[in-house]
Structure 1
Amino acid sequence: MKPLIGVTTSARSGWRIFPLVAFNLWLAGGRGVRWVAGRPSDVAEVDGIIIGGGDDISPDLYGGQLITSSTLDDERDAMERRLVEEAMAQGKPVLGICRGSQMLNVALGGRLDQDAYGTYATSERFWTILPRKTVEIVPQTRLAAHAGTVPMKVNALHSQAVTTLGQGLRVAARDTGGMIQAVERTEEPFALGVQWHPEHLFYAHRQRAIFRALVSAARAASRKEAQLPQVDTGAPQAP
C-alpha cells in the first residue's frame, strides 16, 4: 500500500491546489487525502501529513502583533497547530509548504516575522508561482542531501517568514538576503518546512525529491520503523 498523507488546504482554494499536491505525492509513491477546517482530520488514520499553503497565521499563536494587511483563518490555524502537535506525539512525519512551514515552526514554539521583506530589505521579492527567487541550501542538512547545495530557483507567495526557530528545528535554506526559506527537524520524526511551493515545480527533480523524502518517512512510520535512516538512505547523490 502506498503511504497515506493527510493534506491540509484552504476551504476556499484547496479544491484547486489539492490535486496538484496529490499528483506530486503520486509521483513520489504516496497518496493524499484532503483535510479542511470544520471536517474530520485524524493523524492516527494517516502515515504522514502535509500542512499546505494559504493565509497568514494569526500572531495570537506566537505573541506577535497583528498588521492590517494580514488575512487570517483562525479555524484553520487551530486545526493545523493541533495536527502538527499530534504528528509529533504520534511519530508521524510532516512536510510544511509556505504557510505550512511557518505553522510547523509556530507549533513547535517558534515565532514569525510578519513583515519579513521589511526586515530583510535586500531579499528578492517576488509574488509568482514561477521559479524566480534564489535560495541557498545550507550544507550538511537533510534538505541538502536530497536537493543539493547548488543555489535553487523557487517561487514565492509569502510576506511572513520564520524568525525564531521552534524546538528541534534548524535552518535548512535562506534566500540571498538572509531570510529563512526552509527549516527541518534534527530528530525523529521527520519534519521539513519549505517557504516556497514545490507542488507547482513538479517538473524539477530537486522539488520532487522533497515529496520523496516525506513519502519515505511516511512509509517507515507505517511500519513503526525509524524514519530518518530511511529518508537518508533514499537521498540521491545531489550536486
Structure 2
Amino acid sequence: MSEKPVIGITKPTRGDFFAYAAIWLAVKRAGGRPMKLTAKHPKTDQWISGLVLGGGADIYPELYEGQPRQAASYDRDRDEMEKFWARRAHDERLPVLGICRGAQLLNVVNGGTLYENINDVFETEYPSSLPGHMFYRKAIDIMEGSLLARITGDTSRVVNSIHKQAVNRPGDGLKVTAKEKNGLIQAIEDPECAYYLGVQFHPEFLIYRKGDQKIFDALVNAATERDAQRREAIGDARPPSPPDSARSLQ
C-alpha cells in the first residue's frame, strides 16, 4: 500500500485556525496527509508532495510595487516563508493550490501585481460583516478547457467572497482562467504545470459541494501521481530527500 502524499498547508503562526481546519479536512477527505507550515515552523528540511498556500493578512505591498498603508497589518515573516515554499513548489513542479492570499502570493512570486483595495477599482457589493462573508455568493465565469474547468466540470460557478484585494497584472507565465462579471480575476494557472492553481475564493468553506471538494481531490491525485513517477524514475519506494536548498529560508 502506497503512502498518502504529504500536503503542506501554510497559515499564520497565530490565528486562522478555522480556515486551516477547513483546508485540513478537505485534504484529509481527498486522501492526503496534511502538514502545517508556519513562519515559526517552516519545516523546510522536510519533504512534501503538494502545497496549499492559505488565506490571511495582506501581502507586504513593496513585494509587488505597492505602497504600505499605516493602518494595515502585515506578516513579513509569513511572506518570506511562503515565498520560499512557492518557489520550491514551482521549481520542483509540486502541485500547488493558492487560496485567496495564497493566489495573490503565487502571482507576486511570479512577478505580478495586486490591487490593494478592489473597492477603489471595481464596482462591488461585497459584504464586510462575518455573516456576509459566510453566506454571500457571486457568479464567476471559468475559461473552457482550463484546469479549474476540467476539475469542477463547469464553466460558470457561484463562489464566496472573503477578500479586499485581488490579482492586477498576472505574473510571468500565468494565465487568467476565471473572472467575475465586473472583470475581477478569480483564478490564475500555469499551463506548463500539471497542477498550479490560484483561486481568489475559498473552496475549503464550500466542500459540501462536489465541485469545490474536487479542487482538493485533484491536488492530492496530482501529488500521488507525481510521487509515483518520481519513485519509478529513481527506482526507490521511499519519498526523495529534500534538496540542500530546502534546509534554510532564502
TM-score tier (shorter):
0.7 to 0.9
Contact kept in structure 2, 1:130 and 1:155, CA below 8 Å = yes
Question: Structure 1 residues 43 and 131 mapped into 2: Cα distance closer, same or farther (>3 Å)?
Answer: farther
Higher strand residue share: 1
- CA shift, 1:161, in A, is 0.4
Look up the SS of the partner of 1:144 in the other structure: helix
Deviations 1:190-235 (A, max 9, x none): 210111111111101110111112112111221236xxxxxxxxxx
- CA shift, 1:131, in A, is 5.0
Distance 1:69 1:152 in 2: 34
- Residue 200 of structure 1 is matched in structure 2 by 205
- Written as runs of structure 1 = structure 2, the 5 A alignment for 1:1-239 is 1-42=3-44, 45-121=47-123, 123-127=124-128, 128-224=133-229
Structure 2 regions of 5+ residues with no counterpart? 231-250
Look up the SS of the partner of 2:172 in the other structure: coil
Contact kept in structure 1, 2:13 and 2:40, CA below 8 Å = no
Look up the SS of the partner of 1:78 in the other structure: helix
Deviations 1:68-99 (A, max 9, x none): 45321111011101110111112211100110
Question: Structure 1 residues 142 and 189 mapped into 2: Cα distance closer, same or farther (>3 Å)?
Answer: closer
Look up the SS of the partner of 1:50 in the other structure: strand
Distance 2:198 2:99 in 1: 6
Distance 1:138 1:70 in 2: 34
Distance 1:169 1:43 in 2: 28
Tell me the matched-pair count.
224
Distance 1:43 1:64 in 2: 32
Distance 1:88 1:23 in 2: 25
Distance 1:131 1:163 in 2: 23
Deviations 1:111-163 (A, max 9, x none): 11112222112x44234033512211122211111123353121111111001
Contact kept in structure 2, 1:47 and 1:92, CA below 8 Å = yes
Look up the SS of the partner of 2:74 in the other structure: coil
Contact kept in structure 2, 1:43 and 1:86, CA below 8 Å = no
Look up the SS of the partner of 1:86 in the other structure: helix
Distance 1:90 1:32 in 2: 19
User: CA RMSD of the aligned region, Å?
Assistant: 1.7
Contact kept in structure 1, 2:8 and 2:37, CA below 8 Å = yes
Structure 1 regions of 5+ residues with no counterpart? 226-239
TM-score, normalised by the number of residues in structure 1 = 0.88
Which structure: larger Rg?
Answer: 2
Distance 2:115 2:215 in 1: 25
Distance 2:74 2:228 in 1: 37
